[in-house]
Structure 1
Amino acid sequence: MIGAARRPFALVLGLSGLLISVVVTFVTGDVPTGGARDGLWLSAAFAVAIVLGEWLLLSAPGFRGSAPIAMASAFAFALTTEISPGRFVTYGAAFVVAVTAFAMTVGTATRVLAGRASNIVETTGRLVAIAVVTILYRVAHLGQSPGAPAPPDGLVPWQRAVVMLGITMLALVADTLFTSVLRVLSAAANLRRTFVEEVRSSFAMSMAVAVTGVLIALAAPAMGIAALPLFLMPLVLTLFAFRRYVSIRATYLQSIRTLSRLTDVAGYTPSGHSERVAALSVRVGRELGLSERELLDLEYAALLHDIGQVALVEPIPGGATVLAAPADQRRIEADSVAIVRETGVFEGVARILEHQTTPYRQVRELGEEIPLTSRIVKVVNAYEDLTAGARSARAREAAVERIYLGLGYEYDPRVVDALLTSIGPGADQD
């Protein structure tokens, strides 16, 4: 599957970064030397914090996965050059990248062995960000040589803080750009739109991570290792608050799923129809490179796309709206939008549902703005209506053949191609 191609690429890139940094570290002797025992303890403390941060990964529908504790610790590790006032560390950029890559690998492997979700693309993106910070600060800014102590930069504290913050923000942009490019390469998505969505979904957390990393680095000479847990504590508390929020959102989604089953219970649609449409719509959306926030709205819209059928006096045979008259389709659409808007919190979902029956020709011929998510719901709903939940090869072929009759007129060809990829052999069903 094309959409999965970015994962092996990211894995190879991440492992290559780990191998190269380890080799360079030992070839150049870029390790703590002499009596730098404090440097070793400092490195070990940062490595442990990075491992724990990778274990405490933040991931939720509608949000870009992140490891704020690991990132803040790694940034601080890269930016910390003094063990105590006047005593500079002897390890350089290659050692920092090697230790960070090793710690991230251990943390990620631990999650995988424990059966917890882990995204290799996002993990590699974080490693790219750490490498950018390390090279820009230690090599470009300080001019540190391998195995030599980091020289002072001659800046007053506030100037040093500005330089550190600017470098960490550039690194976070590099991380976001890296993951956006991989998403665009794996699906025919727009790079600019993908990048903007990635920034929007991670901006607040990224700022907190950057500031925390800088604070730890600035406080380390005076406070030593104690600066690490002290300044990480707000992020730890934020992590628990975020997980509480995710739990509430999960309950919210369950409530929406329950509401979507109303048409099943009332006999308007086949059992499980809305859930099948939602699951397949999300897979198609991922294939087309939608952001996590767009996928969440798409899932909600797909679950509620048929809720307007409860206003019908007589059910449509088999609940197949694709076989209903256009006027009946628009009436169901309008009722669905009205019901969703009554909640007062699903405006994005309502906008998707407003165009779920609009023919694609109105985009091609009239230039009408129809959200890609609406076109996805239209195609997937048609496929599910025509297969009636059957998963046999014959049912699939018959449904696809019917959809092809309306290709370019009723249905967006790009969405249909993504559907075929999502239901084809070897398709990712996650």
Structure 2
Amino acid sequence: MTRRTPAVAVERVLALAGAALVLLAVAVTAHAWREVPLPGPLLVGAFIAAIATGELLRIDLPGSRESAPIATAAAFAFAITSEAQRGEPADISAALVVATTAFAMGFGVAPHLMRGRLVRVSDLTTRLFSVAVAAVLFREVPLAEGRTLVQVALDTTVPRWLVAVAMLLVTLVALLVEAVLAAAARAARDHARFPRVLSDELRAASGLATALSTTGALIALAERPLGVIAIPLFLFPLVLTQFAVRRYASVRATYRQTIRSLSRLTELAGYTEHGHALRVATVSLAMGRDLGMSERDAVDLEYAALLHDIGQVALREPIPGGATVMAAPADQRRIANDGAEIVRQTGVLDKVARIMEAQTTPFRQVREFGEDLPLASRIIKVVNAFDDLVGDSPAPSRRDAAVERIHLGLGYEYDPRVVDSLTRVLGRGVH
């Protein structure tokens, strides 16, 4: 029997939960439609168009995230709309909101699938659940004196600012649900610790959360005086924001690619084996997640791991095989210091330089003298030693021998907690 990974299990649970939610919403909507005609066809059609367009214009964010800000804001506005043009009540059920949003999301995602682009089911499901939470809280749950928030919003005696605050709170709760579900999927996918991933998700979402909440509330409030024209009118600033976010993500991706290209300098010059820097970075990043490292620290770890051998370009003669683990401690320190000095010249990677500078420091400096040795440096020290001993060999016996040799320096050269993490990561097939 094939063993399912946590990522596959979580993706499957989210997919099944999303499918069940859609089927339930469609069934409830179809049952209600027999008795009451579809409310506001023009309004519903406008929201379908906005959500589908937003999914079509989805963006890639740093950290391998995908987001559809326009679609999310439009869906939230649909979930909390209380009045249509001319003050008519928008008699829309939560089930209709979910069913319509699911249809629009599928319509918008279809072109991506036709082009062969990867679309994670978990991303779609988490967004759909957040919209469902907003719709249920606003339309179905009695929260104020036995009345739902949509009934309160239709009460002309209630101040509009109070209605706006209620709308913002509902969408913020919905975004919190989305962050929790996204963190669960990401933690399983990256074999990372859920609390740390949730913290990263909340930090990453904080910038867009305010824009999404306020845009959704503004559209919902403007439905009465403006009608459906309020949808494109208030989504337009979000379109401009999305272009700025896309540009930022592109710059980050280019920056990362530049670091990767620079890391190959030692390979092309014959100082290190082919793929050494990338292998060290891949395993180090997996260990950083395993040890609960934050996303920001993980980025510094990846950069330092990619550039950890750059100091070898200052050597008169290459080390055989580029294996610094075989070099004398003084030579290891010189390579690390030269590499750190090269990185410091950029003026923007001081933390990365500090990690590289400390990568050869024995763990006993921490244990015996209380030296502040970055966790990233301890990770790179272990992974570099492992890859120097193994290289790109797939032989399990060679890997076992390398881990056994590293264990000989446990507590003296290498941090025991980091070595345990290496064992776990290798057990998952990462190398």
Matched residue, 1:374: 377
Structure 2 residue matching 1:282: 3-state secondary structure: helix
Q: Shift of residue 279 of structure 1?
A: 3.3
Task: Return 5+ residue gaps in structure 2 as ranges.
Answer: none
Q: Shift of residue 21 of structure 1?
A: 2.5
Aligned equivalents of 1:420, 1:222: Cα separation in 2: 63
Q: How many residues align?
A: 423
Does the C-alpha gap of structure 1 residues 104 and 189 become closer, same or farther in structure 2, counting only changes over 3 Å?
same
Aligned equivalents of 1:255, 1:343: Cα separation in 2: 12
1:210-359 superposed matches below 5 A = 210-286=213-289, 292-359=295-362
Matched AA of 2:21: G
Cα RMSD, aligned residues only: 3.3
Q: Shift of residue 321 of structure 1?
A: 1.6
Asked whether the 8 Å contact 1:56–1:67 carries over to 2, the reply is: yes
CA deviations on 1:273-318 (whole Å, 9 max, x unpaired) are 2123223433444555655544433322221111122233443221
Aligned equivalents of 2:412, 2:128: Cα separation in 1: 45
Asked whether the 8 Å contact 2:287–2:425 carries over to 1, the reply is: yes
Identity of aligned residues (%): 50
Task: Return 5+ residue gaps in structure 1 as ranges.
Answer: none
Matched residue, 1:133: 134
Aligned equivalents of 1:362, 1:177: Cα separation in 2: 39
Matched AA of 2:324: T
Aligned equivalents of 1:59, 1:170: Cα separation in 2: 24
Matched residue, 2:27: 23
Asked whether the 8 Å contact 2:192–2:290 carries over to 1, the reply is: no
1:401 maps onto 2:427 in alignment: no
Structure 2 residue matching 1:59: 3-state secondary structure: strand
1:163 maps onto 2:166 in alignment: yes
Does the C-alpha gap of structure 1 residues 258 and 314 become closer, same or farther in structure 2, counting only changes over 3 Å?
same
Aligned equivalents of 2:295, 2:91: Cα separation in 1: 42
**Bigger CA drift: 47-56 or 353-362?**
353-362
Does the C-alpha gap of structure 1 residues 19 and 66 become closer, same or farther in structure 2, counting only changes over 3 Å?
same
CA deviations on 1:147-197 (whole Å, 9 max, x unpaired) are x99971442222211111122122222222233344456677554433332
Aligned equivalents of 1:115, 1:298: Cα separation in 2: 32
Q: Shift of residue 423 of structure 1?
A: 4.9
Aligned equivalents of 1:257, 1:127: Cα separation in 2: 36
Asked whether the 8 Å contact 1:194–1:290 carries over to 2, the reply is: no
CA deviations on 1:37-87 (whole Å, 9 max, x unpaired) are 5x2232222223222322322223347432111110111010112112331
Q: Shift of residue 341 of structure 1?
A: 1.9
Does the C-alpha gap of structure 1 residues 65 and 357 become closer, same or farther in structure 2, counting only changes over 3 Å?
farther
**Bigger CA drift: 362-371 or 108-117?**
362-371
Aligned equivalents of 1:198, 1:275: Cα separation in 2: 26
Aligned equivalents of 1:360, 1:104: Cα separation in 2: 52
Matched residue, 1:52: 53
Does the C-alpha gap of structure 1 residues 256 and 185 become closer, same or farther in structure 2, counting only changes over 3 Å?
closer
Asked whether the 8 Å contact 1:144–1:151 carries over to 2, the reply is: no
Structure 1 residue matching 2:176: 3-state secondary structure: helix
1:92-241 superposed matches below 5 A = 92-108=93-109, 110-140=111-141, 141=143, 152-153=154-155, 154-184=157-187, 189-241=192-244
Q: Shift of residue 420 of structure 1?
A: 5.0
Matched AA of 1:121: S
Q: Shift of residue 245 of structure 1?
A: 2.9
Matched AA of 1:152: L
CA deviations on 1:7-40 (whole Å, 9 max, x unpaired) are 223222222222232233344x2x5965655x22
Asked whether the 8 Å contact 1:132–1:171 carries over to 2, the reply is: yes
Aligned equivalents of 2:399, 2:253: Cα separation in 1: 32
Structure 2 residue matching 1:267: 3-state secondary structure: coil
**Bigger CA drift: 74-83 or 362-371?**
362-371
Does the C-alpha gap of structure 1 residues 109 and 248 become closer, same or farther in structure 2, counting only changes over 3 Å?
same
Aligned equivalents of 2:289, 2:57: Cα separation in 1: 25
Matched residue, 2:91: 90
CA deviations on 1:242-275 (whole Å, 9 max, x unpaired) are 3233333333233222322222233221233212
CA deviations on 1:196-241 (whole Å, 9 max, x unpaired) are 3222222111211111111111111222221111111122222223
1:42 maps onto 2:46 in alignment: no
Does the C-alpha gap of structure 1 residues 372 and 50 become closer, same or farther in structure 2, counting only changes over 3 Å?
farther
Q: Shift of residue 106 of structure 1?
A: 4.3
Q: Shift of residue 415 of structure 1?
A: 4.8
Asked whether the 8 Å contact 1:340–1:346 carries over to 2, the reply is: yes
Structure 1 residue matching 2:84: 3-state secondary structure: strand
Q: Shift of residue 109 of structure 1?
A: 5.3
Matched AA of 2:304: A
Structure 1 residue matching 2:359: 3-state secondary structure: coil
Aligned equivalents of 2:354, 2:413: Cα separation in 1: 19
Aligned equivalents of 1:192, 1:405: Cα separation in 2: 33
Does the C-alpha gap of structure 1 residues 213 and 59 become closer, same or farther in structure 2, counting only changes over 3 Å?
same
TM-score, normalised via structure 2 length:
0.85
CA deviations on 1:124-150 (whole Å, 9 max, x unpaired) are 3222321221122112347778xx999
Matched AA of 1:171: A
Asked whether the 8 Å contact 1:137–1:167 carries over to 2, the reply is: yes
